Amino acid sequence: MNDEEIVRKYSDMIFGVAMRYVRNRTDADDVYSDVFYRYFRRKRTFDSEEHRKAWLLRVTVNCAKEFLINRKYGDEINDDMFGSETLYGTSEASAEDIIAVRDALKDLDDDYREIIELYYFSGLTVSEIGQMLQKSTNTVKSQLLRGRNKLKEMLQ
């Protein structure tokens, strides 16, 4: 696969994961650029496309976390963690429901929120999340279940 095909194939995934962490387009663009810079800086060999995808996801998460640390949390994180086109445009839920879910997600423990966002908003599988976060599939499944239950309690 050539460089252009790699960028085309993984751009949306990388940008989406970056958005879940940094929560605004400008910062997500910076993370996105950093991920591809790190990828193209040295030629890498991967056993499979799944290995390449897992590496890109792991680097995206690390870059996003580094970005947030470097920002030193001086600015309040943007409340609009879901761009209008990613949630409002595809959901039949009312605006009040969306706001309630967004607020409940903000109050959820970081581990649960991260897994729920990656699963539902980034469309990753449990095994992909496990690879990316370096957790077992069973751990991801149980944290996803616990997170959903906590979210459900918060929304009732």
Delimit the CATH 1.10.10.10 region(s) of the chain: 94-151
Q: Residues 99-127: pLDDT tens digits?
A: 778 788 888 888 898 888 888 877 788 98
Delimit the CATH 1.10.1740 region(s) of the chain: 1-78
The architecture (CATH level 2) of 94-151 comes to Orthogonal Bundle (1.10)
Global pTM? 0.55
Give me the tens of pLDDT residue by residue for the chain, a chain 156 residues long: 888 999 999 999 999 999 998 888 999 999 999 999 999 988 788 999 999 999 999 999 988 888 887 774 334 333 334 443 333 334 455 667 767 787 888 888 888 988 888 888 777 889 888 888 889 999 999 999 999 999 889 888
Nearest-angstrom CA–CA distance, 71 and 20: 16
Position 11 scores a pLDDT of 95
Out of 3.40.50, 1.10.1740, 2.30.33, 2.60.120, which CATH number does the structure's domain 1-78 have?
1.10.1740
3-state helix, strand, coil in the chain (%, to 5): 70, 0, 30
Position 1 scores a pLDDT of 82
Nearest-angstrom CA–CA distance, 154 and 156: 6
Position 94 scores a pLDDT of 60
Question: Measured over all CA atoms, what is the biggest interatomic distance in the chain, rounded to whole angstroms?
Answer: 51
